[in-house]
Amino acid sequence: MTANGEQPSYSKRLKRPLAWWVRQVHFYVSMGSTVLLLFFVATGFIAARPDLFNTDDLPMEVSRGTIPADVPLEAPAIAKWLSTTFPGRFREKTVDRDDREIRFELESVWAWHAIAVEIQTRDYVAETTPSTWASATIGLHRGKWAGKLQRLLVDVTAMALLLVLVTGVGMTLTHPDRQRRWWAWGLMVFSALLVVLLCIGR
């Protein structure tokens, strides 16, 4: 806004200094991804310190039912029909079929389902092992069994972190206070040493 209270024209806004644009990107990206970044901070802490949380599987639950006659007795078709009751990703490599049964698994961060279907009777048994909230959030953090949307969100989070980092570093290293700039360089070297220590401790 100009001194007389009017909004600057579009052409004048485009001519604003680079530092102004850097601040705008830093502000909007950091504010727009705040909760998403906090989620990955919290789940990353849980993943790094599983000894502080209950990550053991919960007791197995057994469910029984019958596959409808219009569902083909093929693992993908059965998995698609069962997915409304037992949400999870169909793992094709787990399919095992003989003359008596069809067996396969459905997995998600929330639960693991082992499915067995009797070919002759079309009856199924689903053995479900639920995840604790801690193990589920660790799976979400790692992108385990993530779909296309979840992977996209992880990519967006990574890009947001990169933009916040680059714009933050840019604002600090171009700060008019020379002492502040030297502190910025020193802290970046310190962070590099932390990475070295992290790698050595593995």
The tens digit of pLDDT for each residue in 29-69 reads 888 888 888 888 898 898 888 888 887 778 899 999 999 99
Instruction: Please determine, for residue 18, whether its predicted confidence score (pLDDT) is greater than 50.
Output: yes
pLDDT single digits (tens) 96-149? 999 999 999 999 888 899 999 999 999 999 999 998 888 888 888 887 777 777
pLDDT single digits (tens) 69-104? 999 999 999 999 998 899 888 988 999 999 999 999
Give 186's contacts (C-beta < 8 A, 6+ positions apart).
none
Number of domains in the chain: 2
Domain boundary among 104, 131, 158: 131
Contact 14, 8 (CB under 8 A): no
Considering the chain, what is the average pLDDT of its residues?
Answer: 85
Transcribe 31-97 into DSSP letters.
Answer: HHTHHHHHHHHHHHHHHH-GGGS--SPPPPEEEEEE--TTS-SSHHHHHHHHTTTS--EEEEEEEEE
**195 in the same domain as 176:** yes
Six-digit token pair at 138?
Answer: 């660790």
Domain boundary among 80, 106, 131: 131
Residue 102: in which H helix or E strand, if any? strand 101-107
Q: How confident is the model at residue 10 (pLDDT cuts 50, 70, 90)?
A: very low
Residue 184 has a pLDDT of: 86
Range of the domain at 194: 19-52+143-200
pLDDT single digits (tens) 147-179? 777 788 888 888 988 998 889 888 888 888 888
Give 73's contacts (C-beta < 8 A, 6+ positions apart).
67, 102, 117, 119, 122
Domain boundary among 107, 131, 155: 131
Q: Report how far residue 174's alpha carbon sits from residue 94's, in angstroms, rounded to the nearest whole number.
A: 56
With respect to residue 191, please indicate whether it lies within any of the assigned structural domains. yes
Instruction: Please determine, for residue 14, whether its predicted confidence score (pLDDT) is greater than 60.
Output: no
